């Protein structure tokens, strides 16, 4: 969805443009054209609307895009606390 050089953040304008493109596509079209997983294709438009609203309310021009998903972060945190520390500390 984002080009490689935009992987760290997305601008409000780019979010609006993307939302405009995705809004009129079916879930199947979003999956096909943007290589989205089914559990992402159905929530991306509402998510973009929420992020756009928040950026507008904060008068922000862009938002950071994490390189890691929430579940990845939870697993990493568990590893650091439970496994890594047992072997190192």
Q: What is the pLDDT of residue 23?
A: 94
Q: What is the pLDDT of residue 48?
A: 92
Q: pLDDT tens across 9-53, in order?
A: 889 999 999 999 999 999 999 999 999 999 889 999 999 999 999
- The answer to whether residue 89 scores a pLDDT higher than 60 is no
The pLDDT of 61-71, averaged and rounded, is 78
The pLDDT of 68-89, averaged and rounded, is 72
Which tokens is 89 given?
């500390």
Q: Which domains does the chain have, with CATH numbers?
A: 4-88 (3.30.420.150)
CA–CA gap between residue 10 and residue 4 (Å, rounded): 11
């Amino acid at each position: 969805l984002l080009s490689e050089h935009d992987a760290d953040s997305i601008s409000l304008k780019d979010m609006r443009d993307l939302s405009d493109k995705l809004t009129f596509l079916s879930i199947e079209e979003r999956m096909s054209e943007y290589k989205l997983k089914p559990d992402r294709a159905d929530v991306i438009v509402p998510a973009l609307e929420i992020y756009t609203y928040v950026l507008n309310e904060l008068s922000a021009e862009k938002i950071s895009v994490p390189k890691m998903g929430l579940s990845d972060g939870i697993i990493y945190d568990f590893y650091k606390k439970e496994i890594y520390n047992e072997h190192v500390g």
